[in-house]
A and B are shown apart, each in its own frame.
Chain A
């Protein structure tokens, strides 16, 4: 029987309360739990938590292409296997449990390109090729219309002040680095991210 999260909390609460320990202090659930370890056949990968900047190590467990578990990395010298409430809930960003206790993809995820036309009241789903062409066209139009090669003093400036860019503390270093190359090649000077806030 699949456990819902609520059942899980109940069980873990009982464990914490000592209800599953016999008089000798042996854990009555232990043998059964080890026989049925769901990560037994999973592939492991080390990653780093997405939230604060402590940089806790996490291990994800993948089986048949699905995330079945994610937990603190016991070898990691900072967190030593522990995670906070957000980090230990990471699984829930990928999958939620439905009323039957079955895991299914988090319904909030954006998995398609969404486009909102001027004055429209709704999103439309588009494909990448269409969106990339359209975005490139918009960037180029704005850049070409507003590009300054020299300023009032005749200094070469090669910039546009009409496009702004917000990079991200949620993106990897390699990603932010190529954002930087992208936006400087376009001539942007309005560049910032949430570190300013």
Chain B
């Protein structure tokens, strides 16, 4: 999130798209409802179903799964056509005025530079670039009228997303859609704040990244970034998914969102700095953060003479190494061992039935959890002959959240401390203890026997005590001075000469005082805009609303004087938050540089870094009931197709219905925790699929009766739940039914049921390789036979 939960109270219009806040982030609804009641704020809910969030919305709009780019693109077009944008904002704070290479073009769903016309293309992006003068400066047209400027290209691109076309694609009735566009674009008024919230109903598509881009672009056009009540607000699904990303639990990153060293690009540390450090913007400090990380890893062994042990970090090859690829590598026998902490891909993975088969190719599997999960017990699945499975499995007993101390980071980037209150039962141990002992056991084995390149293990900086102390780890994560061990105050103190240590630079400051660390702070705000700066620590630098320079106009006047984040009083900056700019200088010096993490210092309406194009373009999901209306390019041409044979053809008669997946409030993710809790099992006892009254009639099925749902990947038999919350979509002159699947169940735990993800496809977004769980094709027939 660029903003945070309590800040929702400051919004004038909410667009809830691709998530169901009332069901999945229930407590946060209080801040939405507060804004509705006290500020006459309006909630728009855009969802394929009439959800619990829709039930309290002021305006509901149905949308066919997988058509968010068309929907959001239609609003962008509406904003541009009707001049609802904040012109001063986009002129000063975005790249709207930049001139683009005249070679840049777009035709039939493809941008210039496509290297082939089949799927999984990669683009030559040389024409997706800014025009520069002889000195290398970007050429701009502040009047925004040059046909090659970003603003004009944007208008041209989105002119195709007119009301009728959007309605045809999305299945949202034209008037209904226009009402949404009109209401949300009212936040283009400088003193009105629009908040777009999203979750997996935006990201889990073969074009998920471009869905998010569409949201960011719309928010920039309306001037909703950096203001209280605005923002691009990803509602994360798990209590510490934010923190797990911050600490680099992703193949392409090391902690603090720095790229992992790659063999091809960064053979040496000098190469890494050369390639990864931009010429301008805050990332010019990257070497300080990276060297501080290497010092955290290899301590006194890391020094300037040995490039701070840079070669001890493994280098990535030229491959994607994310979840789906990992399992494909297992399939092909290239991965022999898996360590899994409280993860359960046997239920959560796409085409999960196949993923379970691939687990049997492992020599060993280590799973750490509080209850027996389906991944650890994949060999016990009904119908599987375990005497055929070679895999050695270790299931390690973990402590509960209240049985261990440490911090977690919520969606609003608040790093909050958990205090241990209970001893773990019997042999259960904290994950910290388990990781500590496992590391020490491996280190001992290398000490005793030697082996392949043991130095990174033997020289690792690792001393958290006999019983590992999370506070010691926290101090290393925060960072300290090597000279005296004193904690660094914040990341502005970090150096690239080896004199500082920090495990994740963005966390510097969260634990900078041994006695009273900021992460444990518990002082609620008594007056202000709800920033609560004295409660916990919000990365970076305890900043609650990021990009907040854009919350005031170039002269420093807040766009909304009633809810100012920062403002210039004529002599100095005043603030309700930690400034995201140099507040030691008058406003004219930061008048057009609010986006400090980008080399341009201005936000990108035109983004040349993405895989499939600098502007989002509507493509159908990989599996779709219809041909793409907007161009001849059917699905995202840059998306990652892992198993082409697993695809139902466009408009397939065997799989005539759209399927999507979602959760209920009573259960959590793969259900490992909640399906072992009798109270929740009583409240929501069984898996079901939701179908419309019209489809139920056609299938001759009533609520509670069994139906069989099939896709190209598998089939499950579950109870049908017939509701008026689903209606068929009117798309391009046809009526198309949708089936909604819950997916919390599996064959372990106290409440058992089929694994719904056996049905979902393994097709990945072009930039992130997230699977397309939210839109695919299925068939349904009456079951129980």
Contacts and interface: CB of A to CB of B under 8 A. Distances in A.
Interface of A: 5, 43, 45-57, 60, 62, 65-67, 70, 75, 77-80, 82-87, 89-90, 92-94, 96-97, 105-106, 108-121, 123, 127-128, 131-140, 142-144, 146-147, 149, 151, 153, 155-197
B249 A191 contact: yes
A39 B297 CA distance: 44
Contact of A123 (B247, B323, B395, B773): B395
Given A53-B25, A53-B410, A176-B247, A169 B334 contact: no
B769 interface: yes
Nearest to B507: A173
A51 to B, nearest CB: 5
A174 B474 CA distance: 6
A157 B314 contact: yes
Contacts of B476: 177
17 contacts: A46-B417, A48-B239, A48-B416, A53-B411, A66-B422, A87-B27, A112-B427, A113-B397, A118-B392, A132-B437, A159-B315, A172-B470, A178-B439, A179-B341, A181-B460, A191-B251, A196-B768
Nearest to B26: A84
Contact of B326 (A85, A94, A106, A190): A190
A133 to B, nearest CB: 6
A193 B392 CA distance: 22
B368 to A, nearest CB: 8
Interface string B638-671: 0000000000000000000000000001111100
B394 A93 contact: no
Contacts, number: 482
A153 B245 contact: no
Given A134-B394, A143-B451, A174-B474, A55 B364 contact: no
A160 B453 CA distance: 11
Given A51-B668, A110-B395, A161-B334, 14 more contacts: A43-B421, A47-B401, A54-B410, A87-B27, A110-B398, A115-B393, A118-B390, A128-B429, A138-B337, A155-B263, A171-B341, A173-B406, A190-B321, A194-B669
B336 A142 contact: yes
B673 A110 contact: no
B317 A178 contact: no
A53 B462 CA distance: 30
Contacts of B58: none
The 9 closest A-B pairs by CB, nearest first: A55-B410, A172-B406, A167-B249, A45-B421, A159-B314, A53-B236, A147-B452, A169-B238, A169-B241
Contacts of B350: 197
B197 to A, nearest CB: 12
A109 B370 contact: yes
A7 B350 CA distance: 42
Contacts of B243: 169, 172-173, 176
A192 B250 contact: yes
Interface string B2-26: 0001100000000000000000111
B345 interface: yes
Contacts of A92: 677-680
Interface residues of B, number: 167
B338 A175 contact: no
Given A155-B263, A187-B453, A85 B665 contact: yes
Contact of B457 (A83, A162, A186): A186
B338 A165 contact: yes
B253 to A, nearest CB: 9
A58 B530 CA distance: 20
A132 B436 CA distance: 11
B426 interface: yes
A162 B362 CA distance: 10
A173 B409 contact: yes
Contacts of B395: 110, 113-116, 123
A146 B432 CA distance: 27
A178 B322 CA distance: 20
Nearest to B348: A197
Q: Looking at B236, B263, B334, which has the most chain A CB atoms within 10 Å of its CB?
A: B263
A47 B336 contact: no
Interface string B381-396: 0000011111111111
B386 A174 contact: no
B711 to A, nearest CB: 18
Interface in B221-267: 235-251, 254-255, 260, 263-264, 267
A113 B421 CA distance: 23
Contacts of A96: 677-678
B420 A45 contact: yes
A114 to B, nearest CB: 4
A142 B337 contact: yes
B335 A169 contact: no
Nearest to A66: B422
B484 to A, nearest CB: 23
B394 A47 contact: no
B456 A185 contact: yes
B119 interface: no
Nearest to B241: A169
A159 to B, nearest CB: 4
B65 interface: no
B316 interface: yes
A10 B419 CA distance: 34
Contacts of A51: 238-239, 668
Contacts of B5: 54-55, 78
Interface stretch (B146-154, B441-449, B547-555, B568-576): B441-449
Contact of B338 (A77, A149, A166): A166
B203 to A, nearest CB: 10
Contacts of B254: 180, 184
B348 A194 contact: yes
Nearest to B771: A197
A168 B401 contact: no
A10 to B, nearest CB: 14
Nearest to A151: B263
A93 B677 contact: yes
B439 to A, nearest CB: 5
B666 A85 contact: yes
B190 interface: no
A185 B312 contact: yes
Interface in B289-331: 296-297, 311-317, 321-323, 326, 329-330
A48 B390 contact: no
A140 B458 CA distance: 13
Contacts of A5: 679
